[in-house]
Amino acid sequence: MQITMNMPTMSLMANGNPHQECIDACMKCTQICQECITLCLQEADLLRSRANCIKTLQDCAEICSTAACFMSRGSGSIREICDTCATICERCATECSIFKDAHCQSCADTCSMCADMCRDMANM
């Protein structure tokens, strides 16, 4: 006699996660920030004006990834981490909006959207 266990697949688990929309926003923000870092490193004004922006992008990418992990596992600290994530995303959006490059403007928009979603999550 063979015993078969029905384990839920990742997609089924993800679809049932009440935080999924915010997780997706955080993961998108992580990706956009990483891409923006790569593109900023290629800009001519890198050393003069982008050093702080790149550091902020790194912070944002890391906190967004961390927030997504906390929400994915249903941590008891979701509110706190999402509040922190929103603050850092807002800072990153402000920093990126200084630069007129399309990649920086896109990143600023993505960070702002993520900040809004995380702020909502923190206030639940």
Task: Answer yes or no: CATH 1.20.1270.360 is held by domain 20-41+48-122.
Answer: yes
Number of other residues whose CB lies within 10 A of the CB of residue 106:
15
Cβ(108)–Cβ(120) below 8 Å: no
Burial class (CB in 10 A: 0-12, 13-18, 19+), 14: middle
> Rounded distance, CA 44 to CA 66, Å?
31
What pTM, to 2 d.p., does this model score? 0.84
Whether the predicted pLDDT of 11 surpasses 80? no
Q: What is the pLDDT of residues 72-123, one digit of tens each?
A: 999 999 999 999 999 999 999 999 999 999 999 999 999 999 999 999 999 9
Phi, psi torsion values for 19, nearest 5 degrees: -100, 10
